[in-house]
Structure 1
Amino acid sequence: MSTFDPDALECLAAIVEEGGFERAAQRLSITQSAVSQRLRALEAQIGTVLIVRSRPLRPTSAGQLLLKHTKQMRLLRADLERDLKELAPSSTGGAREEERISIAINADSIATWALPALNDLARQGLPMEIITDDQDFTQEWLREGQVLGCVTTLKQALRGCKVVPLGAMEYVAVAQAQFARDHFPKGLGPHNFREHPFIAFNRKDDMQSEFVGKAFGLKRVTLNQLFVPSSEGQVRAVLAGWGASVVPELLARGLLEQGQLVNIAPAYTLPIQLYWHCWNLESEVLDSLTSALMQAAGGALSVG
C-alpha cells in the first residue's frame, strides 16, 4: 500500500474544511501555490482528482476516503498526545490547528445538554470542532468522512461505525404569553395552526409540521413559517411575538415556569430519539467522547 505524505493529506483536509485554497494556505501558514502543489502531488499519487472545483468546493469519492483517513490519523495523534501528557506532562505543547477532532451535533442538543457534556474534555485541551446541522442530516458529515462522530436521529449504523442510543429529546409547542392569549385562546388545534406563523430552524427543519401532524392526526400539514437558524434564536423570536414554535422542552422549561412562554398544546409532546454514531476504532479519545455524551444524555433526555 502507498504511503501518503501527512502534509499533503492535511492540505487536502484544509481545502475541504476551509472551503478554498486561499483559506487553506492561511491556516497551514504556507503559500497558495504550495497548497496547489501538495494537492497535485497527492492526486498524481492516487491517480484521480480529489477536489471538485465547484462552489462550494467538495471532495470526490476518492477525496472523501482520504479525508476520512486523515481524520483517523488525527484521532491516533490525539490519543498519543493524551498518553504522552500522562507520562510527561511538560513534554507536549498545545495542539496545532490541523489536529482538530471534529464531531457533528444538532443545534438543539448544542443549545441544551451537549456542551456541558464536553466541558472536561475541552478543559483538558482536546482540540474539538463542533459542526452543527439538523439532527436528520448530521450523519451525512460522518458518511463523507468529515467528522469522527455525530448526534443524529438516524438509527442505522454506517459501515465501519457503531451506534449508541442516547435517549429522547421532548419537544413542545410554545408561544409568548400575550401572543397565546390573543391568537390561541383555546390552544393550538387542528383548525387554527395555519392562521399564524411558526418559527422553524431552516428549510430542512420539519419539526413544526411533524408536531402538528402527529398531534392532530393529520397526514399533510402546510404551515406559514419563518426561519431562524439558531435554537436560542427561535426562542427569542417567539418571545418577541413573531409566532409560535416547537422547541425542546429543556430549552423552554425555565421560560414556561416563569410564565413568559405558554405551552399551546399541553396534551401532546413529541419525543425525538437521538443516537451517537462514531467510527468503530480503538481510541481513548473516542471512548471519552462517547462516555461523556452518554452520561450527559442520560441525565437530560428521557428514556426512548
Structure 2
Amino acid sequence: MIERDPLAPSRWSAEYRTGEFDEPFPWKPVLGVLGIVLVIVFAHLELQSKRIDELHTAINARLGGELEPLRGRFTARLSTLRAWLELREIDGPKMRAADLDFETIRSGGLLSVRRKRSAPGGGSSIELDSDEFGECLGVPSTSIARIQRRLAEFTPELRDEIDRTDHFLTLRGMQDQLDRRIDALLPELSLAIEARFLLLSEEDAEARELMLLLVDLESGQEKLRMRVPYEGRLLTARVMLDETTRAKSPGSIALPTELPKGASDCAAASTLREAIDGRHSIGEPMPEGGEHAAE
C-alpha cells in the first residue's frame, strides 16, 4: 500500500493506484489486543492447571491420608474377629450373662453382621450380609458387610481414573461424590474399630426364627444367646371413611405383604432389647464369668 501525505493536495491523474486513498489498517491496536487475549488465555490455562493439581492433591489426601489408614485398621480388626465370624454354629442353649445391661452396650458400641449359609442345612461356607439391628436398638452401631460394600467402591481403577482426569469440572464432580462417600464411611469405620460388642445373627428359615449371639469383644465372652421370631410377613389394615358421616369405620381388608428386612430386624430387635434388659424370659441367667469364649 502506498503511503500518502494527508496534507498534500489532491491531483488528478489518469492512473489509478489501488489503496491510494484507503485508511491504513490499525495493526498496532489489533496486535495489542491479540497480545492481551493471549496473555489472558495463557493465565487462565495456567490457573486451571494449578486448580486441577490442587484437586488431585486434595482427593489423594482424603483417600490416602484419611481413608486408607482406617481401612487398614478395619481389616486388621476383622482378622481378630475371624474366629467369631466363622463359628460353625451360633445356635445353642439360651443364655444371658448376669452382668449384661443395655447401657453398657450403648456406651461400648455395637458391631453387627448377618451370617448366611451358601447352602441349606449348614456347611462351612458362610457369607456376611448387612442388618439393621443397631439402628433399631438405638445404640451406636455399624454393620461389617455394609462397610465392606462401601470400601469395595474405592478400587485401584478409581484411583487411576482420578489421576487420568484433567478436566476441572469433571474432577470437581468426582471430588464432591468422593467427599460424600468418605464423610459417610469414616464414622462407621471408626466405630467398627472401637466397638466393644459383636452381634451375630443367622436366619433359620424352616423355624422362621433368627438365631442371635451377642459377644463382649473386650472380654472375649458370650453375653447372650437366643432365638427370636422372624416371620418376615406383615399384615396391614386399611381404615375406610363412611361417605355420609365421614366417621372412621374398620375396613376389614388385611393384605399380607413381604416385610422389608429393616422392619423385620426392628421387630426382632425389640425382643432382643427386652432380653438384654432381662424383661424377656430366655432361661436362667448365666453367672458372671461363666460364659464361653470362641476357640
Q: TM-score, normalised by structure 2?
A: 0.19
Q: TM-score, normalised by structure 1?
A: 0.19
